[in-house]
Amino acid sequence: MSTTGKTSPAGKPEKAEPQPRSVRVVLLALMIAMLLAMLDNMIVGTAMPTIVGELGGLAHLSWVVTAYTLATAASTPIWGKLGDLYGRKGVFLSSIVVFLIGSVLSGMAQDMGQLIGFRAVQGLGAGGLMVGVMAIIGDLIPPRERGKYQGMMAGVMALAMIGGPLVGGTITDHLGWRWSFYINIPLGAVALAMVTAVLHLPAKDRSKAKVDYLGAGLLTVGITAIVLVTTWGGTEYDWTSSTILGLIALGVAALAAFIFVQTRAAEPILPLHIFRNRNFTLMSVIGFLTGFVMFGAVLFLPLYQQSVQGASATNSGLLLLPMLLSMMVVSLIAGRVTSSSGKYKIFPIMGGGLMVVGLFLLAQMDTETSRLTSGIYMAVLGAGMGFLMQITMLVAQNSVEMKDMGVASSSTTLFRTLGSSFGVAIMGALFTSRVQDEMTARVGSGGSLQSAQLDAASLAKLPAVAREAYQQAVSSGTHAAFTLGASIAVLGFVAAFFVKEIPLRGAGPKPVDEALPTTDGKVTQSA
């Protein structure tokens, strides 16, 4: 099958014209792989109360998600560079295998420590899934043609966000939480078989560029240290303890060294010159804050619904539909309007404002809040996130030169992933601390937090006094987490006002959003 990226003897890019049917088959295989990564957190988020009920370790709840997102963030730049050096197909297939190994091990975990470690393995594979899909699509489809296939990607996103919590709840209730990980195996096997059979990329000369392993290592150390500070500070250790102060020093030193290395590296993982563009920097910040809020909401809303509102795991997945449907509908509308009009500044402003309002409303929920009321609050938050999801990537890509398009895409994805990691860690630490304090205040130090199960069925077996105390404690913890989220979202709302509305490339009669030959006759593709 034909692909883009080839050059003619004259050094000009050949116009690839792959058959639409062939492209769709390849994209279907890629979308299944993308579905693996996107479904996972949605399914696991709904199953978490039951997992904690069986394995214990509520204090480490947030690390089940944090380990995954942290490993994903750290490995994404490495997978991308390995694909450039050794060929995308083999590296992409390897990332699927690593993800499946992590899934099987997670399903076999016997305690919370094992689960956290195996989720990190799963995250390492997930880092290669998304970057692999985007890079391969960049090889196969010219930028101007990609709009024809956006429906497939939007459909996968909708399936993951809407179907994930429902599937996770149903699996947890009827098959057990371990199958929330095992479900990845048949999907992964199909993706492996299809990609192997139908994806044929032209052989590439091995690039002379070297992977910036030093930069990757420093970035990983810095991020890990800072997230540990946010997770352990005030809970496992005092903020003034030597452990926390040492982690802060390590994180700052590693990130400072990382910045220095990036100015010297031949092929830096994160080229610093792209941050000279105001819009790109603002979109990175807004993307980080959106990830912070989004993954925190997906984690803590099911906890509230199951513990306070008495929903089953399946129903808690269904009760997330107002937020997810609102987010999907608004995202699709904002994307279409932006593409047709070329105007986009209003959307980050509207999105930031609605996120603040939605999170503030969610922070007002208590033990008496009805499901209808919480559903309306979630829809407001979902609309805010919907205005931001596609716009952040679109504006970031429009803010850099074509030669930096791939870097802009991967960097924006990285910041959103980091935001989700920080959000889950910080909101999780605050939630756990508040629940512990409330339980101690209401039932005394004898009311161990570990003995109270989070799922509705176990809560129903508790004495009325203990059950009411725990529901009040979870409600208080939810209030604290979403109040923090609203405060963070204000920063994104303010940042949106500083975005400069620069016309989108490709809107005029002579689009620049297409493959460009470089001086050595190769073709530069957007990712």
* Confidence (pLDDT) at 154: 59
- Considering the domain architecture, whether residues 139 and 244 belong to the same structural domain is answered as no
- DSSP string of 33-60, one letter each residue: HHHHHHHHHHHHHHHHHHHHHHH--GGG
Distances (CA, A) of 271 to 128, 130, 400, 407, 413: 20, 20, 12, 8, 15
Which of 418 and 262 is assigned the larger pLDDT?
Answer: 262
- Going by pLDDT thresholds of 50, 70 and 90, the confidence category of residue 357 is very high
Could you tell me if residue 443 is inside a domain? yes
- Going by pLDDT thresholds of 50, 70 and 90, the confidence category of residue 413 is confident
Global confidence as pTM? 0.72
**Which residues lie below 8 Å from residue 266, measured CB to CB, with a gap of 6+?**
209, 210, 212
Q: Which residues pair with 237 in a beta bridge?
A: 233
- Going by pLDDT thresholds of 50, 70 and 90, the confidence category of residue 405 is low
- Considering the domain architecture, whether residues 245 and 282 belong to the same structural domain is answered as no
Residue 111, amino acid: D
Over residues 211-269, the pLDDT tens digits come to 788 888 898 888 788 777 876 776 678 878 898 899 999 999 999 999 999 888 877 87
Q: Domain range spanning residue 125?
A: 14-200
Q: Among 200, 230, 254, which residue terminates a domain?
A: 200
User: What is the average pLDDT score of the chain?
Assistant: 76
- Considering the domain architecture, whether residues 236 and 344 belong to the same structural domain is answered as no
Could you tell me if residue 261 is inside a domain? yes
**Average pLDDT of the segment spanning 443-460:** 53
Two structure tokens written together for 352 = 């930031």
Could you tell me if residue 207 is inside a domain? no
- Considering the domain architecture, whether residues 341 and 366 belong to the same structural domain is answered as yes
- Considering the domain architecture, whether residues 279 and 251 belong to the same structural domain is answered as no
Over residues 121-178, the pLDDT tens digits come to 998 998 888 778 877 776 676 544 544 555 566 567 667 766 776 777 777 777 878 8
* Confidence (pLDDT) at 16: 41
Q: Which residues pair with 523 in a beta bridge?
A: 517
Could you tell me if residue 205 is inside a domain? no
Could you tell me if residue 6 is inside a domain? no
* Confidence (pLDDT) at 355: 93
Q: Which residue has the tokens 């791939």?
A: 406
**Average pLDDT of the segment spanning 497-512:** 62
* Confidence (pLDDT) at 35: 82
- Considering the domain architecture, whether residues 91 and 125 belong to the same structural domain is answered as yes
- Considering the domain architecture, whether residues 329 and 403 belong to the same structural domain is answered as yes
The number of folded domains in the chain is: 3
Q: Cα–Cα distance between 487 and 35 in angstroms, integer? A: 32
- Considering the domain architecture, whether residues 217 and 145 belong to the same structural domain is answered as no
- Going by pLDDT thresholds of 50, 70 and 90, the confidence category of residue 358 is very high
Could you tell me if residue 9 is inside a domain? no
**Which residues lie below 8 Å from residue 57, measured CB to CB, with a gap of 6+?**
111, 112, 113, 450
Q: Among 200, 223, 257, which residue terminates a domain?
A: 200
Could you tell me if residue 2 is inside a domain? no
- Considering the domain architecture, whether residues 241 and 320 belong to the same structural domain is answered as no
The answer to whether the beta carbons of residues 339 and 391 sit under 8 Å apart is no
* Confidence (pLDDT) at 245: 92
Which of 514 and 299 is assigned the larger pLDDT?
Answer: 299
Q: Cα–Cα distance between 270 and 219 in angstroms, integer? A: 10
Residue 248, amino acid: I
- Considering the domain architecture, whether residues 138 and 255 belong to the same structural domain is answered as no
Q: Cα–Cα distance between 139 and 185 in angstroms, integer? A: 27
Two structure tokens written together for 377 = 């609050």
Residue 45, amino acid: G
Burial of residue 36 (number of CB atoms within 10 Å: 0-12, 13-18, 19+): buried
**Which residues lie below 8 Å from residue 166, measured CB to CB, with a gap of 6+?**
314, 317, 318
Could you tell me if residue 8 is inside a domain? no
Q: Which residue has the tokens 């399914």?
A: 43
- Going by pLDDT thresholds of 50, 70 and 90, the confidence category of residue 396 is confident
Q: Is the Cα dihedral 333, 335, 339, 341 positive or negative? A: positive
Q: Cα–Cα distance between 132 and 259 in angstroms, integer? A: 26
Over residues 7-24, the pLDDT tens digits come to 444 444 444 444 455 677
Q: 360: domain CATH number?
A: 1.20.1250.20
- Considering the domain architecture, whether residues 226 and 128 belong to the same structural domain is answered as no
DSSP 8-state class, residue 240: T
- Going by pLDDT thresholds of 50, 70 and 90, the confidence category of residue 453 is very low
- Considering the domain architecture, whether residues 184 and 123 belong to the same structural domain is answered as yes
